[in-house]
Structures are given as C-alpha cells and as structure tokens.
Amino acid sequence: MSEVIVVTSGKGGVGKTTTSANIGTGLAALKKRVVLIDTDIGLRNLDVVMGLENRIVYNLVDVIEGNCRYKQALIRDRNNSELYLMPCAQTRDKTSVSPEQIIKLVEELKSEFDYIVIDCPAGIEQGFKNAIAAADRAIIVTTPEVSAIRDADRVIGLLEAHGIQKIDMIVNKVRFDMVRRGDMMSVDDVVDILAINLLGVIPDDEQIVIASNKGEPLAGGTTTSGTAYLNICKRILGEELPVRDYMESVKHRPFANLFRRKHA
Amino acid sequence: MNTICMNSTGDYAKNRLMNILISDRIGCTPEIINELKNSISKTLNNYLDIEPSGIDIQINERVLLAAVPISNVYIKREKEECDSNGNGREEVQTD
C-alpha cells in the first residue's frame, strides 16, 4: 500500500525542496520505491537539488495535458534505481493544473510506488491546493523564526480543514549555538507553540549547501544532517526512534518569578 | 503583552509569536486582545484578588483558556501559618 506525503511550510526558503529531496533519497536508501513530484510550476528547483536538471524531457504539465505518458516524464535518480523524479514545467503557471488532475495522476502512480513525495510551493494559493489534494499525510518544514512558525501554524489549520489528520513537523536550520545563547527559539519552544508531532531536527549545516551545490542529497551519508534525514525517513516508516538529543541548550525561564505574591 | 523585560531575543521572539498566533487564530488585533485581557482582569478583580500581569490567555480554534494567578490564596495561607506559629501580628478572621 502506498502513501502520499506532501512537504509544505507556507513560507518560502525554509527548506521544503531540500527536505523533499532528502526524504526521497532516504526512503529509497531504505529500499522503498519512491517518486518525488515537484509541484512548484514556474519555479521548479527539485530537479536542481537532485542534480537531474539535464535529463528533463517531459514534465508534470505535459503528463496532465496528455502530451506524454507519465512514465516518459519520470527521471530515474543517478544513484538510486528505486528513486524517480517527476519534474514540473518552468514556463507555465500554477493554474495549468487542477487538484483533480493531481489526484488522478497520483492514483496512477500509486500502483508503482511505495511513497509519493510531493514538494509543495510556498504560499497557500492554487499551487498549495494542488499539492495537498492527494496527500495522505503532511510534513511541515519550519525554522525557529517568528515568520516561519506563524506561516506553519496557518498551514496546519488549512491542512486540518482539508481533512489531513497526520501532520508531522521538521524543525530545520537550527543553530544550537544561538539557542544556547538564548538568541534563537529552541526546538521545544517550536513544539510547544505548534503542538504537532516532531519528526526530526536538522541543524543549520554547511554540508547541506555543499550537497545542493553538487546536486546530491546527503540523506544516508555520514554527515550529521545526513544521519538526521535518514532517521526522519525511518520514523516515516513507523520506526520508534528518539529524536536526536538536540537539547544541549540551556532552557531559559524568564517567567519564573512572574507569579510572585502581590501583597507579601 | 507582557511588560516584563526579556533578557534574550529568543524568548522575546517566542512571546511575540504567541501574541501573533492568538490574534491570527481569532482574527483580531493584539490591541483588541489586550482590551479583552483588561476587561477579564477588571471583572475578575471584582471578586478575586488577582495578579493582572500574570494572566495568560491562549486561544485555539474553539477554546479560550485563561490562566489567572490569584494572589489572596497565598495571603490567607500565610496568615494561617503566622497564626499557628504564634507570632501572627494580624488578626485571623473567624467565621
């Protein structure tokens, strides 16, 4: 039985595409058949992060408009024969596709893949509606910043309204040195505020930039982030793994002396 | 909303964020929430000795939860303790 996962955030630049690429790579490394679908029509990037930009012949819009069969649009990953990418069109816009068409396509793909990972565009408009239409579960990517968490909260509300019950979260780009100094919200703070299940924590790691320079996602590799991504994938498969001990930080308690007696 | 001084920007961010989310969720501005908070504390003050700066209001989609610290509970207890120690200076009220 296959599962459809949408990777979303609301805000742009928090790492949806990198997360999608790494989840796809990690799940494939765990011997699952995976297809990544880029739904960011007009601003595609997943092909670049995966290092597959030179192999695109057909795209998502071609498939939906019937210019080709879906198998013609799928690109096999360079390092993993079980991982495929369905790229999207760069010269069209989000209105070229409807949620119903995505649902129909995903239904076809289900016969062939264990996991269908959908990379959602930023925003909550048409592109978002297309991306979540067929999803069984969602992964929210956020960073410990006010704007990203605010958007994540809004998106969680929209996903719930759409009937998606399984919503997990990845806190990305955490700088533990800043958390320790008290200059960044901690992962606990984020979990407190959004009150959804924490799937994993990814540090703000230069290896991720290097990996995307090379077009090779690092999930499953020997780096800290590579291991963190692989553990996220194992949790997606249902394994009970404790979230990496990210709380080396000191917890600040500014409210501790707030409840002093008034007339004492 | 809290007027306490934040000693780290991370805590300041969390506090701002919580205020923003409350207003986002119920669709009204932080000023209106502040007014709501003031009215709640004013009304409660008619009946209880409360700590207005300690009021914590949280709003989900459907539920408003207000945690209101009550001050006179502690005072009563303190008076009782003083009395039992035999050095209470104030008279303890009797029914």
Segment B4-13, tens digit of pLDDT: 455 789 999 9
ipTM, two decimals: 0.79
Q: What is the mean pLDDT of residues A3-11?
A: 97
Q: Is the pLDDT of residue A262 over 50?
A: no
Q: Enumerate the residues of chain B whose CB falls inside 8 A of the CB of residue A262.
A: 49, 51, 71
| Residue B26 confidence (pLDDT) | 79
A&B contacts, CB < 8 Å: 72
Compute the nearest-CA separation of A185 from chain B (Å).
5
Q: Is the pLDDT of residue B95 over 80?
A: no
Ranked by mean pLDDT, which of A103-117, A211-225, B21-35 comes out on top? A103-117
| Residue A263 confidence (pLDDT) | 40
* Residue B51: closest C-alpha in chain A: A262
Structure tokens at A47: 């092909």
More confident residue, A94 or B26: A94
> Where does residue A188 fall: left (phi above 0), alpha (psi -120 to 50 degrees), or beta otherwise?
alpha
Q: What is the mean pLDDT of residues A142-155?
A: 97
Q: Enumerate the residues of chain A whose CB falls inside 8 A of the CB of residue B18.
A: 193
Dump the DSSP string for chain B.
Answer: ---SPPSSHHHHHHHHHHHHHHHHHHT--HHHHHHHHHHHHHHHHTTS-B-GGG-EEEE-SS-EEEE--BSHHHHHHHHHHHHHHT---SPPP--
Q: How confident is the model at residue A244 (pLDDT cuts 50, 70, 90)?
A: low
* Residue A262: closest C-alpha in chain B: B71
Q: Is the pLDDT of residue A260 over 80?
A: no
- Starting at the earlier edge strand, list the strands of the sheet with A137-142: A75-76, A83-86, A34-38, A115-119, A3-8, A137-142, A166-174, A197-203
